[in-house]
Amino acid sequence: MKDSGNRFVMPALVLLSLVTIYPIIYVFYLSLHRRLLIFDISRFVGIDNYIFLFKDDRFWNALKNTVYFTTLSVSLELILGLAIAMLLNKSFRFKGVARALVLIPWAIPTVVSARMWEWIYNTDFGILNYLIGAKINWLGSPFWAINAAVFMDAWKTTPFVVILLMAGLQVIPLELYQAARIDGANAWQIFRRVTLPLLKPVILVVLIFRTLDAFRVFDAIYVLTGGGPANTTETLSIYAYKVLFQTLQFGYGSTLSVVVFLCTGAISIFYIRLLSRGMR
């Protein structure tokens, strides 16, 4: 019985390894080569690319930007998402409409929303500067640009967090809240001792999704700033894209991709461990 099960799984396994495992191995293989399409150079260089990467300022800068972006945007999204989910979980009139409205930013394609925000952030006729009555060069100043990208990402993906957390909130039995209230717990205590612990597995799932997505961020920032000014918003994925597809250095570009892969792998393992501990 067990054997036949394995046989049925085989086609799916073969397909999966063709489309995921083979490219992963090939990228790793490429990362050990000096391969420049234009100059017809292709030779094995061992870990030279990794040594170069270690000394590459642009890589460290991109890593720093990526970590900054990920930490800030994910925390912001979690806090905002939790607050909005709690609000929407209350019953009030037009609850359905409100829930639908919250979803809109998430439903807009990333490239479209990035273009939209590019105009919102425009110094001269952007609505943001109009509303706050200032002339801030949002995307042109090294300080604001990355934070502007974080803010756009928070606007765009908080709805995703809201949806997942709302689902989590809905499965918490009402009796627990009632019992807590009868025991004389105040709102903060209920949130801290009842809601939060029961929501923990969902929060971890949200964190896995969001951290991995944010760490690999490409399109939103690429469209918004192109990595500028002066690479202050260049993330690892953008750097890898430029090396791979604009300058066609397949060897070093693959090295960068491998590093992104290792980072996201480490992040997933960290979260999955947390999650399995939380389940126990």
Partner 1 sequence: MAAKTTAIILAVLLSFYSTGCVQKDKGKNEAVLVFKHGKIAGDPDLFKQLLERFEKENPDVKVKDETLPASTDEQHQFYAINLEGKSSDFDVLSMDVIWVPEFARAGWLRDISHLLPETERAEFFPGPIQAVTYNSRVYAIPWYIDAGLLYYRKDLLRNYGFSPPKTWQELVSTAQYITAREKDLYGFIWQGKQYEGLVCNVLEYFWSNGGDVVRDGKSVINSPQNIESLKFMQELIVKYKITPPLVTTAIEEPTRHIFGNGRALFMRNWPYAWNIFERDGSPVKGKVGVTTLPSFPNKDSASTLGGWQLGINKYSKNPEAAERLIRFLTSPEPQKILALTVGYKPTRKSLYKDKDLIREQPFIAGLYDVFMKARPRPVTPYYMMITQVMQPEFSAALTGIKTPEEALASAHKQIGHIMKVER
CB of 265 to partner 1, least distance (A): 27
Q: How far apart are CA 218 and CA 258, in angstroms?
A: 16
How far, in whole angstroms, is CA 104 from its chain's centroid?
Answer: 18
CB of 108 to partner 1, least distance (A): 20
**Which of the 8 DSSP states describes residue 233?**
T
Burial letters for 131-170: b for 16+ Cβ neighbours within 10 Å, e otherwise? eeeeebebbeeeebbbbbbbbbbbbbbbbbbbbbbbebbe
Q: Which is nearer to partner 1, 44 or 270 (CB)?
A: 44
Q: Which is nearer to partner 1, 10 or 19 (CB)?
A: 19
Q: Which is nearer to partner 1, 115 or 273 (CB)?
A: 115
Q: Where are the beta strands (DSSP E) in 119-215?
A: none
* Pick from 35, 250, 223: nearest CA to 139: 223
CB of 43 to partner 1, least distance (A): 12
Q: How far apart are CA 173 and CA 93, in angstroms?
A: 22
Q: Which is nearer to partner 1, 71 or 137 (CB)?
A: 137
Amino acid at 72: L
Please list the residues that pair with 253 across neighbouring strands: none
CB of 232 to partner 1, least distance (A): 8
Q: Which is nearer to partner 1, 210 or 242 (CB)?
A: 242
Rg (CA), the chain: 23
Q: Which is nearer to partner 1, 3 or 124 (CB)?
A: 124
- The site for partner 1 (CB under 8 A) is made up of 36-41, 58, 121-125, 137-142, 225-232, 234, 242-243, 245-249
* Pick from 180, 184, 210: nearest CA to 196: 180
CB of 208 to partner 1, least distance (A): 31
**Sign for the pseudo-dihedral over CA of 251, 41, 248, 142:** positive
CB of 235 to partner 1, least distance (A): 14
